[in-house]
Structure 1
């Protein structure tokens, strides 16, 4: 493998490639201008279709934007030449973020998601996939500066690894998360290009690229199944808004502008959240057994009739005895129907019994008569008494505030101690005054689905899934009940009291028990010294997991410094100043209760900083991060303040050690640990 930087010795090939880049950008501009010039004023039958078409054209124009500083193509494939009667022919394709063609329709850049592009990611000397030459390009901003060639069919060329690939992985990170389209590895590509109907769970250690794999999988599925997913929809679910702001630019850089993003709390946002449960209450509310309690509670108001229904039509009266009505109700209860749908079916079933009697007496009623009977006041009154309307929020309110009602519905499911844990100490007057928690909102969502079926999307990406409760998994699973999902997480990073214990259990709660689990163990982001240091915690927090390894080895990337208590703040600031002398972003991560002191120290020292989720810039490259929000984020340099405070800030030691594991693995280039207290014994 040979790398060719910009120099006189290699100027001709570089100039040729730069010329192709310029021509490709010109072709992309022409494609956009052509789309903008299209007259669509008289091509639709009505104004509704016109609005839809105009919106689609607007999205198309946006997707054809040439993003400044973003390479239009990053690779080239030269396939084996063939010789036939017409002469010698070669096949050459440039691989990039989107398709670009010239005025004749010939491709100048092939979308990375196209089938032929697969060879760029998976071809090797062992399996060249008919590729003779793979060329990678190096960029500085949008300017092409170097190229690197791999002759996959040349046995004499030694495989020394890609310097450009390594450089791209290690490129300083300022601002939001970048795409990894130029650096996707074969094992990642297999997951990215999985079938739409396939639900996959990706267990990945820190820096293995699981989040990027999930986002690129969405982009691939939208490319391969655009029409189908345009109808059914896609969604990316993250742990918090800070995380979603960090990843929100990845899909637009790949030309996908319409993928919605949400947190689980936003997904089930039926009520305003005004309270926080303690760990015990949240754990019980998040337990899958609550689904059984709610199912009972939803049907608790159903009453078997004891009186007949008398339907008057004209001069005739039709009597349906109580035992026949009871049979209808028992049949509906036995079926796996939504409560609301069953309630709508009951008057039609009663009306059908009336019509049978009409036909037996010689009448010939039709569907209009059945609908009229179903709306008869006597039938409506009977249905209201037998099958009362259920309001999900009111039902959960009663369940959490009425001890007798909860005891009746949870009998044999929750212990008396568990029931007491979730009962509100002071029952609210009503829905508006209730202090709902995030776990309560999930219960309301479950109750809502028991009444009315939740709509399903075509594909859902669920990131940082290890922190979800079983009831939250159920809430997400409802959103992809007839679709598929990509589940991303790391059991070792689970920091909630109800954190996932096994992916098999989690996938069952999600409603996808047949999904397969892929494990990514090769890291690209975290330096080898850092991931090795953090992995000392694995025997205590997740002994069943394979330790992640890293392809990167940066000299001097790990520093552990002990100071006296009085100098801790100053030492943390000194470490930040040292990190800021390097290019890229710096994150100061600390236990949540340490943030006020560090914020004051930063302000006094005149060191500007932003909070997690806020975008850094060339002027402000330091982020002050509470350990509770560090998950999923990454910084070129990390200063970790007082590890023992991170551990003891959690309700139990195992959770605290998992929180520390997360904090230790946020660094891309360097980690400095500053501490006054002794380090946790598990670090060795």
Structure 2
């Protein structure tokens, strides 16, 4: 490695940072006051604020991480630097190309077999934001050696939130990231394969490629819980994307959820409930008990009962419930106008609207097609056994109906304490009443744990858009966890979505992954055993101890002498005792935990999606026994370590691990 070359590259980095500062200063100098009116000024001000935020320099991350020296023969620049965002000099010449630009694709995809017009690829090594090394890969047909810089970046210890992986995206990951916006992609990814990072980087890529369209229609990241969202929160801002919403299914569908028996939630989450809800809503539409009489001046107009019944029958089931009420009023008014015309009058649209708003028409519409809220319908369904039986028909057994009925019905919809499963039912009803707006793109992580009704709710939000669905069938921990991605896509309303699989891990050492994979025949027999590129010899320690709490404290003290983050994962019920044993040396994962906490105590139920350099797993049998799919939960927590895993147990290990 030449010092002269390194100094030249450092000089280009310094010049690029200066150019980025100049771009930001120029954006800050712009004023929204030039816009003609208040609304335009506010819109322009918001766009400028977004532009300024996107041009922020992160001094602890490299501005560029690669370089392409192109072969002669095209009009592109000979040298192209690839980084997190586009940077140009005062004359508009590019100094760094955004990794999402088409020309940058060769950085991830070029190979000796297909150099894609590239003669040499250079990777850069960094410490913080300082360039420390470079590594050249000539694409002249000779086989490439394993990149040392690439491996070091993948294995680099981590603390705090998740980092982006733009410098280490692999060819199969890049293919997924760059899929077209119209394509819904479902990624089955074993632990450590980077599926979450792929989903986030696809969102960033789509925003870059379809900026105007997605700015209007929106992009949302949906994660399993707030701890997960906090962990991934820095990735998109580091890539210059600051306008993407990040939420959980619970928050998206209505906020706090009341606890509920999993058996009840499983029935409510079943796809059959969609038809039960549809029937329950339309059961509120009644036959008219009398005709309509409208008086205008000295004239009286009657619409007979049979004609009203025909109008209701024609509308029922052909429109959403809410618009149907308005259409019924207009159809009734039209029937009155027909009679007016027969008497020689010449009514216009204004007369029809006036009749539709008249008291007799409103009273009839309220009697035949009453105004309803989702809460009113679901409250009645879960409170009234006879109504539930009528709506359920052949779709729910008597035992299932009995299970979901409230034991002590709430007095009114307003006083009801809705569960997470109820929130999905309310959302279904809301869409039956009024159409749910669709967004441009959803990224749905840990999708294997969503119920069919929750998937339907998310599907409505990408009805005219697309989705990136991420998950691992082996990590399904809910009683309704998916067994097939094909079924997930059907519930999502995207049956034509592509299903791709990532089986090669880059983060979890092979020794740890192999130990966890002993559980696969019991939890997901159809999945292939994942592979890891990191041997990780010595990364796994399994110890039987007489006192688990004492062993945890001692293990954490030893790990504090090593670099990297430490996660102590245990069954939820054991967390308070472990926190007491560790005292001030650890914080329990949650909103109160300091951002710079080196040691975090993690309840097993919220560990999904998180990673730590070192994991101390406490009493695996307690985790396996805590819930119906406890072995799947255990598989999740066994695969959270990226450097070392220490398993401490006093009880016997669960059967598949005992060998």
TM-score by length of 1: 0.94
- Aligned counterpart, 1:443: 425
CA offset digits 1:452-510 (Å, max 9, x no partner): 11111110110001100111101111111111111100000000001011111111111
How far does residue 316 in structure 1 lie from its aligned partner after superposition? 2.0
How far does residue 244 in structure 1 lie from its aligned partner after superposition? 0.5
Do structure 1's residue 629 and structure 2's residue 599 form an aligned pair? no
SS of residue matched to 1:668: strand
Cα–Cα, structure 1 residues 291 and 154, in superposed 2: closer, same or farther, change >3 Å?
closer
CA distance in 1, matches of 2:602, 2:15: 44
Do structure 1's residue 665 and structure 2's residue 639 form an aligned pair? yes
Write the mapping of 1:290-329 to structure 2, written as runs, cut at 5 A.
290-329=273-312
Specify which of 256, 262, 272 is matched with residue 279 of structure 1: 262
How far does residue 358 in structure 1 lie from its aligned partner after superposition? 2.4
Give me the CA root mean square deviation: 1.5
Specify which of 527, 549, 564 is matched with residue 584 of structure 1: 564
How far does residue 300 in structure 1 lie from its aligned partner after superposition? 1.3
Specify which of 459, 471, 484 is matched with residue 502 of structure 1: 484
CA distance in 1, matches of 2:16, 2:118: 23
Write the mapping of 1:127-138 to structure 2, written as runs, cut at 5 A.
127-138=114-125
Specify which of 245, 248, 270 is matched with residue 260 of structure 1: 245
CA offset digits 1:547-590 (Å, max 9, x no partner): 110111223111111112xx211112222222222111010111
Do structure 1's residue 463 and structure 2's residue 450 form an aligned pair? no
Specify which of 370, 383, 394 is matched with residue 401 of structure 1: 383
How far does residue 430 in structure 1 lie from its aligned partner after superposition? 1.9
CA distance in 2, matches of 1:82, 1:392: 64
Cα–Cα, structure 1 residues 458 and 423, in superposed 2: closer, same or farther, change >3 Å?
same
CA offset digits 1:509-532 (Å, max 9, x no partner): 111111110100010110111111
Confirm or deny: 8 A CA contact 1:522 1:548 kept in the other structure: yes
Do structure 1's residue 642 and structure 2's residue 619 form an aligned pair? yes
Confirm or deny: 8 A CA contact 1:610 1:616 kept in the other structure: no
CA distance in 2, matches of 1:612, 1:200: 31
CA distance in 2, matches of 1:617, 1:445: 35
How far does residue 90 in structure 1 lie from its aligned partner after superposition? 6.0
Do structure 1's residue 11 and structure 2's residue 3 form an aligned pair? yes
130-139 or 550-559, which moves further after superposition?
A: 550-559
How far does residue 597 in structure 1 lie from its aligned partner after superposition? 1.4
- Aligned counterpart, 2:573: 593
CA distance in 1, matches of 2:591, 2:171: 31
Confirm or deny: 8 A CA contact 1:641 1:674 kept in the other structure: yes
Confirm or deny: 8 A CA contact 2:587 2:593 kept in the other structure: no
Structure 1: give runs of 5+ residues left out of the alignment.
5-9
SS of residue matched to 2:407: coil
Confirm or deny: 8 A CA contact 1:175 1:615 kept in the other structure: no
SS of residue matched to 1:457: coil
CA offset digits 1:378-431 (Å, max 9, x no partner): 111111111001121121111112112111111211111101111111111223
CA distance in 2, matches of 1:588, 1:409: 48
Confirm or deny: 8 A CA contact 2:439 2:462 kept in the other structure: yes
CA offset digits 1:629-674 (Å, max 9, x no partner): 1100000011111111110111x3xx11101100100001111111
Specify which of 395, 399, 414 is matched with residue 396 of structure 2: 414
- Aligned counterpart, 1:22: 14
How far does residue 297 in structure 1 lie from its aligned partner after superposition? 1.0
How far does residue 218 in structure 1 lie from its aligned partner after superposition? 0.5
Do structure 1's residue 331 and structure 2's residue 281 form an aligned pair? no
- Aligned counterpart, 2:534: 552
CA distance in 2, matches of 1:562, 1:39: 66
Do structure 1's residue 656 and structure 2's residue 630 form an aligned pair? yes
Cα–Cα, structure 1 residues 410 and 90, in superposed 2: closer, same or farther, change >3 Å?
closer
Confirm or deny: 8 A CA contact 1:174 1:616 kept in the other structure: no
CA distance in 2, matches of 1:638, 1:269: 34
CA distance in 1, matches of 2:14, 2:482: 50
Write the mapping of 1:505-584 to structure 2, written as runs, cut at 5 A.
505-564=487-546, 567-584=547-564
How far does residue 323 in structure 1 lie from its aligned partner after superposition? 1.3
Confirm or deny: 8 A CA contact 2:579 2:588 kept in the other structure: no
How far does residue 39 in structure 1 lie from its aligned partner after superposition? 3.6
